[in-house]
Amino acid sequence: MSFKTYTKIFLISIAFTIWSCKKDTQFAVNEIACELDYSTHPNHTKYQTILDDYTQKGITGLTVVISTPENGYWTGSSGFSNIEDNQKMNPCHLHHTASLAKSFTGIVTLQLIEEGKLGIDDLIGQYLSEEIKNYVPNVEKLTVKHLLQQTSGIPDVFDLAFFETLMNAPEATYTTTDFFAMIEGRPAQFEPGEKHQYADLNFNLLALIIDEIEGDHKKSFSDRIFIPLGLEDIYYHNGDYPRPNGLVASYWDQYNNGQIENISDFQILMTNYIEASDGIISSPKEMVRFYDAVFNGELVGVEMLHLIETDWVTEPDQNRMNTGYTHGFMSIDDDGQWIGHTGSHIGASCYVYHNLDTDATIGVFTNTGVHFFTEKKALIYYHLWNDLRNAL
């Protein structure tokens, strides 16, 4: 990490520390009953040992879901859902799932394409307000597919510059329009379709398109995914969102020195105002159920599923877990093709991937943020991933 980058993070950390010190109490996690017990699973000891090893290495709390055709479903937890109250993590706790929301936005978009309400090669300008179009570079050239594959060239708004703005007002909230205003006048990173570059605003645009077609993408998530799949422990601007019962506390190691600090209030604030590219709170079991439903063909038909599984573009960022990107899903080429998505936030880290060749699924959910620190990212997104994959 460069000195300049470290200095920015240090200053941001000071701002967060000052803000959090204003809080009278830390985020409380309610004890929740959990009847999920997979201690008789043939690989229980092997899997649980891996989880315990990684909480010893610095992950605050961890829940993992593993499913294979040979041995069925297993889930287990290790560490803490709340350090201050000495509450243990269990598989029924709810987690911030960060960018996994992109897969939900992708699925609803593909459903609209299947239904003939939207075209994958449609120019997006026809679905957007004049205000939004004025902010987006090359908007007249962009198609729905460019957004789904993140090949639009739109600048990324959630960079260090964005976090610097939070220093002055960490309690501020933002709308989707506010985020687009932040890129006003900025040039495109490249011509549409030239290459893939991850940028959350692609999926904010897709949500605006869904809003234009169906009225409210949040309701579309519920009507098209949550309700048909019977998902009751998943929250996206519904029920007690953004503080549903059983939500874990969030932590980060802001000075990268092994000292974990509670950053729950800020994590909840950001989860609440970042939509479509982020924002879903879920139990691990129900999030994995969603990804399994995608690849079981419960949510999209053969043609759209074929797009997800085969029509991907190369991920150029070697610091990311995935090697490719496809229509709201990431792909990894490790012992076959794994497709799912990774999520990374200031106080949460997670991923779910399904292997197209073996039908195995791995889901990892933690309340430890590693967004700024490469070596901590490697612990969760590389070493833990490989250990779990090799344990199947």
Q: What is the pLDDT of residues 267-320, one digit of tens each?
A: 999 999 999 999 999 999 999 999 999 999 999 999 999 999 999 999 988 888
Residue 278 resides in a domain: yes
What percentage of the chain carries pLDDT values higher than 70?
92
Q: Is residue 30 part of a domain?
A: no
Number of domains in the chain: 1
Q: Over 50: is that where the pLDDT of 18 sits?
A: no
Q: Is residue 34 part of a domain?
A: no
In a domain, 302, yes or no: yes
Is residue 31 situated within a structural domain? no
Between 342 and 8, the more confident residue is 342
CATH of the domain at 363: 3.40.710.10
| 255 part of a folded domain | yes
**What's the CA gap between 237 and 327, in Å, rounded?**
23
Phi, psi (degrees; rounded to nearest 5) at 171: -95, 0
DSSP annotation of 383 reads: I
Task: Name which of 352, 175, 368, 156 is nearest 272 in CA terms.
Answer: 175
- The domain in which residue 160 lies consists of 3-24+43-81+97-391
What is residue 158's predicted lDDT score, i.e. its pLDDT? 85
The phi, psi pair for 193, rounded to 5°, reads 85, -5
What pTM does this model have? 0.93
**Inside any domain, residue 33:** no
Give me the DSSP letters along 153-172. -PPPSSSHHHHHHHHH-TT-
pLDDT at 162 over 90: no
Domain membership of residue 270 (yes or no) is: yes
Q: Tens digit of pLDDT for each residue in 225-279?
A: 999 999 999 999 999 999 999 999 999 987 778 788 999 999 999 999 999 999 9
CB 390 within 8 A of CB 66: no
Exposure class string for 33-66: b at 16+ Cβ within 10 A, else e: eeebebeebeeeeebbebbeebbeeebbbbbbbb
